[in-house]
C-alpha cells in the first residue's frame, strides 16, 4: 500500500531550500575538484603515496557528491509529496556525513604535515592540529552512527546531537585557524628574513592560495557551527556541510598545483616546491641558499651580456 500523500500545494521550501541550493553549489565545486585533479595528474609525478592520497580524496569527494544526489532523489522524487517520509534521514545522507568527516580529517593531516616540512620546530603546533582534527573526526563518526539509529530529522535538534555536531565543527574550526596562522607566520618570516627578491610574486601567490583557502575552511566551519546551533531543524546549515569536503579538497589541490603555476612565473619556484614537498629542511636556511644562488646566476648573466655588448662594438 502506498504511503499517504501530502496535501496538494503544500509548500516545503522552508525546509528544503537550504539543502537544495547547498546541493547545487556543492555539485559545482565538485567540478572544480575534477579540474584541479586533472591539472595535478598532467603536471606532476609525485611519490606514489602522495598520488594515491590525492586519488582517494578526489574519488571520496565525488562519492560524497553521488550520495548527495541519492539523498536529493529520495527526498524530492521518490518521496515527492509524502510529508511523513520527508521527516526521515536517508542512509545515503548518513553515509555522506561519514565520508565528509573522513575527507576533512585526511586533509587536516596533510596540512599538519605540510607545516612540519616547512619548519621542523613546529612539532607542537602540528600535534595540536592533529589533536583537534582527531577530536572532530571522532565526534563526526559518532554523530553519523547515531543518525543511523535515530533516523528522524528531529534528532538533529536534540542536545546529544548538538553536542556532537558542536565538537565536530568547533574542533575542526580551531584546527583550521591554527593551520592558517602557522602558514602565514612561516611564509611571512621566510620572505622577510631572506633577500630573495626575485620570488616576491611567487611568495605572494603561494600565500594567497594557502592562507585564503585556509581562512575559507575555517570561516565555513565556524558558520556551520553557529547556524546549526541556531536552526538545527531548518537545515540552513546543510549547504556548508555539503560544501565542506569540497573546500578541503580544493585547499589541498590548490597547494599542490600552485607549484606548477609558480614554476611558469619564476624558475626559482621549482626549488621552493622541493623545500615544501620533498625535503624537511628549515625553510629560511633553504631560502637563503636560493638567494645566494640567484645572486650568483645574476652576476654570470650580467657578465655574459657585457661581453656580447663589447663584441658588438668591436664588430
- From 140, 147, 116, select the one nearest 130 (Cα to Cα): 116
CB atoms within 10 A of CB 208: 12
CA distances for 274 relative to 85, 116, 141, 279, angstroms: 54, 14, 36, 6
- From 137, 65, 130, 69, select the one nearest 98 (Cα to Cα): 137
DSSP-based three-state secondary structure for 104: helix
CATH class of 13-284: mainly alpha
Scan for cell 503544500, then name that residue.
Answer: 10
Q: Are 142 and 218 in contact (CB under 8 A)?
A: no
CA 155 to chain centre: 28
- Based on the number of CB atoms within 10 Å of its own CB, is 101 exposed (0-12), middle (13-18) or buried (19 or more)? buried
- From 257, 255, 261, 265, select the one nearest 199 (Cα to Cα): 265
Q: Are 65 and 131 in contact (CB under 8 A)?
A: no
Grid cell in block for residue 98: 561519514
Scan for cell 575534477, then name that residue.
Answer: 34
- Predicted confidence at residue 232, as pLDDT, reads 74
Grid cell in block for residue 277: 614537498
Question: How far is 182 from 191, CA to CA, in rounded Å?
Answer: 14
Q: What is the mean pLDDT of each run of 10 residues along the chain (315 residues)?
A: 49 71 90 91 87 93 92 80 70 89 93 86 92 94 84 76 86 88 74 49 57 70 83 80 90 79 44 41 51 54 54 54
Helical axes 159-192 vs 200-207, angle rounded to 10°: 170
Q: Are 234 and 14 in contact (CB under 8 A)?
A: yes
- Predicted confidence at residue 59, as pLDDT, reads 95
Q: Where are the domains of the chain?
A: 13-284
- Predicted confidence at residue 164, as pLDDT, reads 87
Grid cell in block for residue 173: 574550526
DSSP-based three-state secondary structure for 151: coil
Question: Using alpha carbons only, what angle is made at residue 179 by residues 178 and 182, rounded to the nearest 5 degrees?
Answer: 85
- Predicted confidence at residue 303, as pLDDT, reads 55
Q: Are 86 and 79 in contact (CB under 8 A)?
A: yes
Q: Are 146 and 160 in contact (CB under 8 A)?
A: yes
Number of H helices, E strands in the chain: 10, 0
- Predicted confidence at residue 145, as pLDDT, reads 86
- Predicted confidence at residue 35, as pLDDT, reads 92
Q: Which residues contact 34 (CB under 8 A, 6 or more apart)?
A: 58, 62
Question: How far is 79 from 73, CA to CA, in rounded Å?
Answer: 8
Q: Are 137 and 122 in contact (CB under 8 A)?
A: no
- Predicted confidence at residue 13, as pLDDT, reads 65
Amino acid at each position: 500500500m502506498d504511503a499517504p500523500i501530502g496535501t496538494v500545494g503544500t509548500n516545503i521550501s522552508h525546509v528544503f531550500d537550504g539543502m537544495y541550493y547547498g546541493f547545487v553549489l556543492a555539485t559545482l565545486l565538485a567540478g572544480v575538484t575534477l579540474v584541479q585533479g586533472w591539472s595535478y595528474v598532467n603536471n606532476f609525478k609525485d611519490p606514489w603515496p602522495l598520488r594515491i592520497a590525492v586519488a582517494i580524496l578526489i574519488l571520496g569527494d565525488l562519492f560524497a557528491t553521488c550520495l548527495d544526489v541519492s539523498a536529493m532523489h529520495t527526498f524530492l522524487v521518490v518521496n515527492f509529496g509524502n510529508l511523513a517520509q520527508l521527516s526521515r534521514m536517508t542512509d545515503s545522507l548518513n553515509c555522506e556525513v561519514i565520508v565528509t568527516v573522513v575527507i576533512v580529517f585526511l586533509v587536516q593531516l596533510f596540512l599538519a604535515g605540510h607545516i612540519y616540512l616547512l619548519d621542523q620546530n613546529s612539532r607542537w603546533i602540528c600535534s595540536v592540529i592533529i589533536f583537534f582534527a582527531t577530536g572532530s573526526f571522532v565526534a563526526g563518526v559518532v554523530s553519523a552512527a547515531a543518525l543511523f539509529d535515530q533516523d528522524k530529522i528531529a534528532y538533529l535538534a536534540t542536545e546529544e546531537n548538538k553536542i556532537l555536531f558542536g565538537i565536530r565543527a568547533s574542533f575542526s574550526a580551531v584546527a583550521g585557524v591554527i593551520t592558517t596562522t602557522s602558514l602565514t607566520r612561516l611564509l611571512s618570516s621566510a620572505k622577510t628574513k631572506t633577500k630573495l627578491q626575485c620570488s616576491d610574486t611567487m611568495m605572494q601567490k603561494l600565500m594567497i592560495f594557502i592562507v585564503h583557502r585556509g581562512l575559507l575552511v575555517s570561516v565555513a566551519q565556524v558558520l556551520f557551527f553557529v547556524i546549526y546551533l541556531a536552526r538545527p531543524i531548518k537545515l540552513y546549515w546543510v549547504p556548508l556541510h555539503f560544501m565542506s569536503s569540497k573546500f578541503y579538497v580544493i585547499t589541498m589541490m590548490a597547494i599542490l598545483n600552485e607549484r606548477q603555476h609558480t614554476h611558469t612565473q619564476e624558475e626559482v619556484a621549482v626549488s621552493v616546491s622541493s623545500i615544501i614537498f620533498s625535503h624537511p629542511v628549515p625553510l629560511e636556511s633553504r631560502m637563503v641558499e636560493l638567494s645566494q644562488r640567484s645572486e650568483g646566476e645574476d652576476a654570470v648573466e650580467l657578465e655574459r651580456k657585457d661581453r656580447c655588448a663589447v663584441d658588438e662594438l668591436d664588430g
